[in-house]
Amino acid sequence: MTARIGVVTFPGSLDDRDTQRAIRLAGAEPVALWHKDKDLKQVDAVVLPGGFSYGDYLRAGAISRFSPVMETLIDQAKAGLPVLGICNGFQVLTEAHLLPGAMLGNDHLHFICRDQKLRVENAGTAWTSDYEAGQEIHIPLKNMDGRYVADERTLDMLEAEGRVAFRYVARGAAADGYGNPNGSLRDIAGITNEAGNVVGLMPHPEHAVEPLIGSGRTDGLPFFTSILKKLVAAS
């Protein structure tokens, strides 16, 4: 079996091709999905890539959430389809209420682009099983609306249920990728749904899959090998 992982392209998506390449490097087959098409082409998992879908008009991810492809995706995600949202994809997942909370503008009001130090908090999801809990990784970050917020009750629920998937590592110098880059509450960089099949994060693992390009590291590749192993094991 060759696992087939769909990558949705919205108007304004920037990292769909990079994500397809990361999937191919992990050993799966990338499948291009168009935002106006409700058919997911029988893929085994889906990635919502980064970018500025619909120019981030209204707010990031707010229009894409109503694209025809999302109607099918929301139903299938609730039924267990693995879904990964990266940056703008994470924003779309919160707008679609597949993940709780919301994404606001960075607290310093500037676009940020740098390598970012993260700590893996949950290595039990469909997308993180090739990491170890507590592992620290470098993943490129680039966003304008990356500040994760939620009410205290939701934040406490995420903590209690182990649904914080990644945190920004606060210690160390910003020049080395440490620190909270956007004011996200409780240093949250990524979360998961209760079932562990839907994960969203702001940094871009697809830009850290080869030593010769992107960040020069391969810290992001385990996202894609994790889901591949899960799909193969389930076949």
Phi, psi of 65 (to 5 degrees): -55, -25
What's the number of CA atoms in the CB half-sphere (13 Å) around residue 8? 34
Clarify whether 110 is annotated catalytic: no
As a whole number of angstroms, the distance between CA 80 and CA 191 comes to 16
Clarify whether 204 is annotated catalytic: yes
Catalytic member of 35, 95, 121, 206: 206
As a whole number of angstroms, the distance between CA 51 and CA 71 comes to 20
Nearest to 219 by CA among 164, 171, 170, 169: 169
What is the identity of the amino acid at 38?
K
Clarify whether 206 is annotated catalytic: yes
Catalytic member of 35, 95, 121, 204: 204
Catalytic member of 87, 95, 138, 207: 87
Angle, helix 221-234 to helix 16-26, in steps of 10 degrees: 60
Q: State the burial class of residue 96 (Cβ atoms within 10 Å of its Cβ: 0-12, 13-18, 19+).
A: buried
Residues taking part in catalysis: 87, 204, 206
